[in-house]
Structure 1
Amino acid sequence: MIEESGVVVSIDGSYARVRIERRTVCGGCAANGACGTSLIERFFGRGAIHVDALNQAQASVGERVMLGISEQGLLSASFAVYFAPLAGLLGGALAGDALAGIAEGGFADVAALLGAVIGFALALLWLRGYSARSRNRPEQQAVVCRVERGVPVGIPTAT
């Protein structure tokens, strides 16, 4: 189980919306801020993200909690998010190129580009459905594992 701490900002039925502060590994290596990760952090900032998690620990608003997600669920979701667009892009480009080879004319590059765009768009549509179906899979849901007692937390602000 992969865990991360956060603060409950709202409750909606059996789900809790948890605010998690973004953290990077900057300062933990020899590059010390001279890498791409630190550049991205400087560009996008270190804002908080919100996660809807199954509230198994019955946490209340304002409590610091520990969220968890299974390694298998995270691995399968990561694979889908990275592999599907790449496969759609490459598959579409190859299909467009093959179709251009059948037709007459010198538009193979344009057909490959158009096929890549269509394949990428179809992959993103598939990912949208995959994401909706994943919400009902227990192994791919974030879960409030426990409430962190004795940890002082200010009242969270909903952003």
Structure 2
Amino acid sequence: MITENGTVIALKEDRVWVQTIRQSACESCSARSGCGQRVLASATGGRANQVLVENTVRAQVGDEVTLGIDEQALLGASLIVYALPLLLMVLASIVGHRLSDGADSWAMLGALVGLAAGFLVGRWLQARQDGRYEPRLLRVNRIASDTCI
């Protein structure tokens, strides 16, 4: 399970908006000196992200919470978002090239059609997963001094 801490900033029916700042993973990673993600995080100043998740732990605005996503779900979502469109783009480009006896314009058109088809199929596959690729609220992080009052 990959986890990240954040703060609840708004309630929306049975869901909450959680704000996280990307920087905690970069500080503990052994590859931080040569990583592109660290460069992006430093360029954006550890920019805050907001995510809408189901409120399964009865969090309130201002609560510090822990979000989590399963590693297999993250890997599956990454394959759908990145690998599927690229694979279909390459395959459609090859098909366009072969069907046109080597015309580059048909190969480029095939690549564009394959890329668009990859995004559409990926969106369709994601919609069928019923929240499998979404992060979940794991817990509300309470400070001991808050409970003693």
Under a length normalisation based on structure 2, what TM-score does the superposition of the two structures give?
Answer: 0.82
What is aligned with 1:156?
A: none
What is aligned with 1:84?
A: 84
- Count residues with an aligned counterpart: 144
What is aligned with 1:100?
A: 100
What residue ranges of structure 1 are gaps of 5+ in the alignment? 102-106, 153-159
Is 1:61 aligned to residue 61 of structure 2? yes
CA RMSD of aligned residues (A): 2.5
Alignment check: 8 A CA contact 2:32 2:38 kept = no
Match of residue 141, structure 2, among 124, 137, 148: 148
Which has more helix, going by share of residues? 2
Instruction: Using the aligned pairs only, state the percent identity.
Output: 33
What residue ranges of structure 2 are gaps of 5+ in the alignment? none
Query: CA 1:30–1:8 in structure 2 vs 1: closer, same or farther (change >3 Å)?
Result: closer
TM superposition shift of 1:90: 0.5
Alignment check: 8 A CA contact 1:15 1:55 kept = yes
TM superposition shift of 1:19: 0.4
Alignment check: 8 A CA contact 1:54 1:141 kept = no
Alignment check: 8 A CA contact 2:41 2:47 kept = no
Is 1:25 aligned to residue 65 of structure 2? no
TM superposition shift of 1:31: 6.7
Write the deviation string for residues 41-65 of structure 1: whole angstroms up to 9, x where unpaired: 3444421111111211111111000
Rounded to whole Å, the distance in 2 between the matches of 1:80 and 1:39 is: 25
Q: Which amino acid in structure 2 is aligned with residue 25 of structure 1? A: C
* Corresponding residue SS for 1:144: strand
Rounded to whole Å, the distance in 2 between the matches of 1:25 and 1:55 is: 27
Query: CA 1:96–1:151 in structure 2 vs 1: closer, same or farther (change >3 Å)?
Result: farther
